[in-house]
A and B are shown apart, each in its own frame.
Chain A
């Protein structure tokens, strides 16, 4: 077997690594240091609110994906299935429960503390509710704060929906946070954090939109989830996050100035052959192999929906220091998976057009109905509206049993051949007649 090549890393990636390591160190010593820990979810997260109480957030789906990347998820899932979870259900849930059954060691190997509060910000994914009902029984006595986020079924956020969410925050979520943390709610502090959030959000949008350049200096899917997006969730609202995104933005600008493509684990992409918009989460168990199929073919993802589950900032939303709770409500309701299907199609169509994509690809995830149900209709709509070739592959989040490398590679190679042929035809058609 050949030795795995050393992964090439940019400065921002190293900063991120250090920031995350520090967070996990803090988490591992939370009980000793007296810091309270809140388990919650990425979509519709209330990071600023949690941090304003000096509590630490833990995101079970991030732990699950990290377990997937570190090849631990298969055993965790198996253990969850042993206690009665069906093969059919969400593998994030099973991975998380399996991790807990195995001593709750986090991604860095350090033990994660048990939660002091379960914050069920139930946004865009029905399974979240089931997940936390299970956790509530596995951590008896731990208070649960439920924040029900209404779905954007009409394709808009209404004043009534905002009022519903703010009431839930004021009368349930915040009082529980006060009780658990032993601190009074500090509105000015929250507002101040939101100033930082908005700064980070401005920078994040500029970074993501840099993919409109040709060549794109970033991969907005693989790099999007690898080093552009993750910090956003746990650190949004902090000065550290603003500094990180400033650094990353500088790197991206420099790449644009030099006409460089994205950084891959094997270095710079030399030639951008295909620009794609991707819908759906990535596979985590074989993340690098999966990415490699793309960069080996010169395919760059210029926009993706998965990087918008934590917020669709490129549609203009920013956390607003003047209306902190209202803007948290708007934020939750605006997350990608909380948008209705016509809105999703519209967003993806915008991406295909604005990012001048050559194709639209769906990675359909076996255990994520929030994304997967309806994707085949989304694909038809995109094909009709944009006239670009569409592709469809299937895998799973963290269950390696559902990642078939040969099958995916085969399908992608055929898809790339189709894109290549189309390019040739389009170029021929654009030549002036002889």
Chain B
């Protein structure tokens, strides 16, 4: 077993490899393999896995790639994520990808799917519409049809057919994956100093670009390493981060928040990997139906899901309480309509529950963290001194 330091180093390398070397190497091992790129937030990777395809999270270029051509496609008032995604399409980083899935999260990502269509990037470019009706007979039917479109897309690429047996197998692997990630979050709940938020981020994000089998092994090794104490407890407050589910914050921002005196005990950075709360039935005669049912009934709260009847503000408060958080940091990408339009109501819920909060905005390639660090530091001090 590798040491924790080595595992973290490997994950940090994979997480930010914008050439997706590992995924491309995996594809080259077998002619029936396919690569499917997907954007935030959620894509049920089980279906791709069951069809011998690797779904690869395209989370933007962050601060790891200079945007040269991508900026020419977007006005200054559009968020930063699609610029990097276009840049990667134009600079050949995604050339071996067979198709792309654009989940319904906002109008920018929706229109980006059309830009990929116009550019003829990949063999398919699929806008993946989440139903906003959660009745199994209405929204469930629609969601299944959406999944079937992607199944047909993959099948057209590699000729594979989806079998009940394969899908059940894949569901079990991803159940395990989510369970292990949650286990790490639970350990951090008790011992946040053993694994920093940034290290956790590397470990979870690496899982979006490698196979689930490889990732599960890494997660198991990480959990095993975490049984031993590591690091020193600090006089930090505990915070939940909300609003960073699509365009990802730069690593420096996550580090700055922790260095400012805040243990990040939960977050929505890579929400797609933790979307389904709990397990999906893995021994079913209708595994596709189980994925549908999981989406309708076990989805986490998110700005991408219509929430009348189960408001996300209340669910955020529940999460903060579950994690024994001292406060909430609303950290959203600039020009992110879903996160920013949700923010006022979520703040109200925090106020009603007596949970202190602050907010700021970032770009994925923000390079200066001094102001954010000061703001987070002041937040931490104010809670430690007066809460």
Contacts and interface: CB of A to CB of B under 8 A. Distances in A.
Contact of A83 (B107, B119, B133, B344): B344
B106 A88 contact: no
B338 A126 contact: yes
Contacts of B336: 88
A153 interface: yes
A137 B345 contact: yes
Interface string A355-379: 0000000001011011011111100
A160 B337 CA distance: 30
Interface string A118-139: 0010100111011111101100
Nearest to B116: A341
A146 interface: yes
B78 A372 contact: yes
Interface in A330-357: 340-342, 344-345
Nearest to B119: A377
Interface in A103-157: 120, 122, 125-127, 129-134, 136-137, 144, 146, 148, 150-151, 153
Contact of B137 (A86, A129, A167, A367): A167
Interface string A17-46: 000000000000000000000000000000
Interface in B93-108: 104-108
Contact of A153 (B119, B127, B137, B342): B127
B118 A164 contact: no
Contacts of B311: 133, 137
Contacts of A126: 104-107, 110, 337-338
B341 A381 contact: no
A133 B117 contact: no
A126 B119 CA distance: 24
Nearest to A339: B114
Nearest to A137: B345
Contact of B115 (A144, A367, A372, A374): A374
Contacts of B235: none
Contacts of B179: none
B345 A134 contact: yes
A241 to B, nearest CB: 30
B307 interface: yes
Contacts of B138: 164, 167-168, 171-172
A370 B115 contact: no
B340 interface: yes
A40 to B, nearest CB: 15
Per DSSP, chain B at the interface is helix
A372 B77 contact: yes
A325 to B, nearest CB: 14
Given A160-B145, A168-B138, A345-B118, A84 B104 contact: no
B347 A84 contact: yes
B249 interface: no
Nearest to B105: A126
Contacts of A129: 132, 306
Nearest to B126: A153
B126 A84 contact: no
A161 B145 CA distance: 9
A133 B308 contact: yes
B2 interface: no
Interface string B270-313: 00000000000000000000000000000000010011100100
A148 B133 contact: yes
A291 interface: no
B89 to A, nearest CB: 11
B224 interface: no
A8 interface: no
B interface residue count range (under 10 / 10 to 19 / 20 to 34 / 35 or more): 35 or more
Given A171-B135, A381-B118, A372 B75 contact: yes
Nearest to B333: A88
Contacts of A90: 337, 341
Contacts of A89: 337, 340-341
A394 interface: yes
A385 B77 CA distance: 27
Interface in B11-56: none
Nearest to B108: A373
B237 to A, nearest CB: 22
Contact of A134 (B75, B129, B341): B341
A244 to B, nearest CB: 33
Contact of B342 (A120, A130, A377): A130
A303 B74 CA distance: 24
A131 B108 CA distance: 17
Given A125-B107, A144-B308, A148-B139, A374 B114 contact: yes
Interface string B317-355: 000000000000000101111101111110110000000
Given A86-B343, A150-B129, A171-B138, A376 B308 contact: no
A342 B118 contact: yes
A341 B337 contact: no
A143 B303 CA distance: 20
Most buried by B among A132, A340, A375, A381: A340
B343 to A, nearest CB: 6
B338 A130 contact: yes
A227 interface: no
B141 interface: yes
Contact of A374 (B72, B112, B141, B361): B112
11 contacts: A86-B340, A88-B337, A122-B132, A126-B106, A133-B306, A146-B132, A146-B133, A148-B306, A151-B110, A373-B107, A374-B115
Interface of A: 83-86, 88-90, 93, 120, 122, 125-127, 129-134, 136-137, 144, 146, 148, 150-151, 153, 160-161, 164, 167-168, 171-172, 340-342, 344-345, 364, 366-367, 369-370, 372-377, 381, 394
The 8 closest A-B pairs by CB, nearest first: A341-B114, A84-B344, A153-B127, A130-B341, A374-B111, A148-B132, A369-B107, A86-B340
Interface of B: 72-75, 77-78, 82, 104-108, 110-115, 117-119, 126-127, 129, 131-133, 135, 137-139, 141-142, 145, 303, 306-308, 311, 332, 334-338, 340-345, 347-348, 361
